[in-house]
Each structure stands twice: as C-alpha cells, then as structure tokens.
Amino acid sequence: MYDIILVRSWSRSYYYYLNIIKHLSAKYKIALLLIDKESFEKVSATRKSKFVKSKDTEDNFDSLCLEYGADKIYINQKHTCKIMLMPVVGPYYNDEYLSKFKSNISWETMIGIFYLIGPTHVNEIKELGVVKYFASHKELLVQGDKSDGVHKDLEGLDIVYTGLPYRKYPVFDNLKLEIDYLIAYPSSIHFRDGDGKHKEKYEFSKMLLKALSSIDKNDKVFLKLHSSSDKREFYATKWGKNVYLLRVAIFIAEILKRHLPFYKKHLYALGGSLRCSFIEAKYPSLEKLTEYHNFGIELFLPHVNKGVLTGHSTVTFHALYNKLPVYNCDSQEKTIGIPEGMEPYMVPCCNGNLQFDKSNFNKIDEEFKNADIIQVIKEELDGV
C-alpha cells in the first residue's frame, strides 16, 4: 500500500510533484501513476503530437521522480493508497481510462488538484469520489474565464489553498550561487499576430540587449528557453556564435532598416533574430548547468540571486513569489496572451534599465506566501 499516489499528467502543469517526492519520500511511500501503453496509443492525435514535442522533457521528469524516491506504477495494475492526488483535468481522462482507474486503483482519500490558473472544470473526476481539492492560490483559481462557468464549478467544493513548494522545498541542490541573472524568453504568443509581431519581437530583443549591457561582467547570466516543447526557439534562424560578427551584422541591419522602409517587416525579423543570436552566443543556456534545463522556470528561480529579465509572461508571478526583481523588456502597453488572472501580477516595462520597484513584491499576498503544500500533505497523512 502506498501513502501517496500522484496521478501523472503533463509535467508542465504539475512540476511540484518533484518537490513532493523529494521532500516526503524518505518518510512516506510514494508512487507516480502512469497510463499503460495500450491506452496511450488511443490518446487523441492532438494530445499525442503535443506529447511527442516534449517527449524528452516528459521522460526526464519521470526519471527524476524515480531518482527522488517514487515508484512508477501503471493503471492496468492493482494498487492501493492512503491519499490520491489527481489533477482536475488530465490528458487521458476518457471513459476507458476512468474505467481502468476505478477497477484497479483504490484509495482512502482522493484529493483533486487544480493547476495554478485553472482549468477549473471538475466534471472528469467529480464522480470518482473526490472529497476535497488543493489549489495553489485563491485569486488565480477564481479569476479564470468566468464565461465558462468557473464559479458554478467551484460552488460547494472543499478547497484547501496550499501555495507552491518551489521556494521552501527546492528540487535542485547543486545550483545554489550559480545563477545571478536569468534571461527568460517569453512565449511568442505574447506578441501580436501578423506583421506587427516582427516589430514587437524586434523591440523586445533590442530592449533586452540594452538591459543586459548594464549587468556587471562578473555576474553569472544564463538563458532559459521556453519549455512548452523540447526544441522551442524564440527565433528559428540562427546566425552563428561569433559575437564580433553578430555585432557588426546588427549595426548593418539597423542602417538598412532606416533606409529601406519598404522592407521593414523583413528587417525587423532580421534585426530581432540577430540580436537573439548575439544573446545566445554571449550567454550560456541553462543546459550548461543541468540536463533538466527544459523543466519549468519555477523550479530554477529559488537558485537565482539577482533577478530575471523577461517580457510579458507568467514568469513575472513566479519571480515576485521568490522575491526576485523582474525586468520586463516588452514595451507593448497591452498584455497579449496573458491569462486574465495573471494580469495584476505583471510589472511595467523597464525601458532597458535594471531598476525595480520593490513595492511590486506586495502583489503576492501573505496568505499565499505562507501556505505550505508539503505540510498540508503531511497533515493529511498523519491525521492531524
């Protein structure tokens, strides 16, 4: 019998499984429940495509869970546990999966867990006998898409707000004092569609480079690429690793942009990709520090000492939670692609200067900062 079974979902949504396993497996018996191969083959083409794009990351996640003390178990095997932590929405929740789940897995207490920002529909697991739900942050949970009936779904649920474990219970031990600043490329969805997208990405890369130029040369700066897939690139085109030649090319592209207005769209794309190639040539990727570099940035922020440089991104919320200055290098006045609940946590554009208003830390409320999911789980298990 296991103390805890963690139902496997996309690792990107529940990286804190790693924190739970690492900090509780010495005392409690924990298992990671995966789908069997036969059922996996029946997952929709869209889901399979998404999985394939991040297969290396998903495999690394499973491996680290096992290294930290979890057992890997499958849904077509018989298992029992004291508490079951089950994501509210998972990639495999169809009739066949749920049938096998109910036939093979038994538990004393099932707890549904919400992702940080929704999804808030609970129909997939409500009938299984969930007695309570864990949610990281109250405001982020209720600020989902209200037109989708969020409040109706939450009515009558026993919800415990647990916070996040990343800062108090870090996953990595060997990264301390290794990172002063972390560059976090935002997702491309945060830039406008159409021709304007080239200009906005260009302006972001230009401001990012300006901000980086004011960092002390002795500071350790690393680049964190977006983690939605194994090979995510901010710009697909790369222009080599010679910093001097890239600097010259950037200068020439700027001159051409001024004198060839009819080609501005292409020159914006060229100028942005050249600057990002320059940044990637000058500053190492997190890949230099860890094989788990493509995991979510929230796992690495407890090991950053001085600040994060990014754009409009949910990274801002996690940086503020870790009391890290965050420098927004995106000059767009309107946030694009940011979930509604995250908008209050965004910070103004830094205009290329490493100046941060510490009052932004007050955006993270004390209740959320003090909540402790590891302690909550221990109390559930020990009957406190």
**Residue 305 within a domain:** yes
Cα–Cα distance for residue pair 109/80, rounded to 1 Å: 11
Are 212 and 144 contained in the same domain?
A: no
Q: What is the pLDDT of residue 147?
A: 47
Q: What is the pLDDT of residue 260?
A: 77
List average pLDDT for each run of 10 residues in the chain, which is 384 residues long. 92 88 97 73 46 72 94 93 90 78 93 82 81 89 61 82 94 82 85 68 92 94 73 68 86 81 80 90 91 91 95 92 95 77 89 94 92 95 76
Joined together, the tokens standing for residue 219 give: 């500071």
**Residue 307 within a domain:** yes
DSSP helix/strand/coil, 134: strand
Are 85 and 153 contained in the same domain?
A: yes
Cα–Cα distance for residue pair 155/137, rounded to 1 Å: 16
Q: Among candidates 178, 213, 381, which has minimal Cα distance to 293?
A: 178
- Alpha-carbon distance values, 373 to 46, 160, 278, 284, 317 (Å): 32, 9, 41, 33, 18
Q: What is the pLDDT of residue 90?
A: 73
**Residue 372 within a domain:** no
- CATH classification of the domain holding 235: 3.40.50
Are 126 and 254 contained in the same domain?
A: no
**Residue 371 within a domain:** no
- How many domains are contained in the chain? 2
Q: What is the pLDDT of residue 232?
A: 57
Q: What is the pLDDT of residue 384?
A: 47
Are 153 and 187 contained in the same domain?
A: no
**Residue 117 within a domain:** yes
Are 31 and 145 contained in the same domain?
A: yes
**Residue 373 within a domain:** no
Decide which of 112, 135, 161 is a domain's last residue: 161
Are 121 and 58 contained in the same domain?
A: yes
Q: What is the pLDDT of residue 226?
A: 65
**Residue 172 within a domain:** no
Cα–Cα distance for residue pair 210/353, rounded to 1 Å: 8
Are 73 and 125 contained in the same domain?
A: yes
Domain that holds residue 300: 179-365
**Residue 351 within a domain:** yes
Are 27 and 134 contained in the same domain?
A: yes
pTM score of the predicted model: 0.88
Decide which of 161, 191, 219 is a domain's last residue: 161
- DSSP annotation of 88: S
Are 41 and 105 contained in the same domain?
A: yes
Cα–Cα distance for residue pair 364/313, rounded to 1 Å: 16
Are 227 and 261 contained in the same domain?
A: yes
Are the beta carbons of 199 and 270 closer than 8 angstroms? no
Are 33 and 150 contained in the same domain?
A: yes
Are 135 and 271 contained in the same domain?
A: no
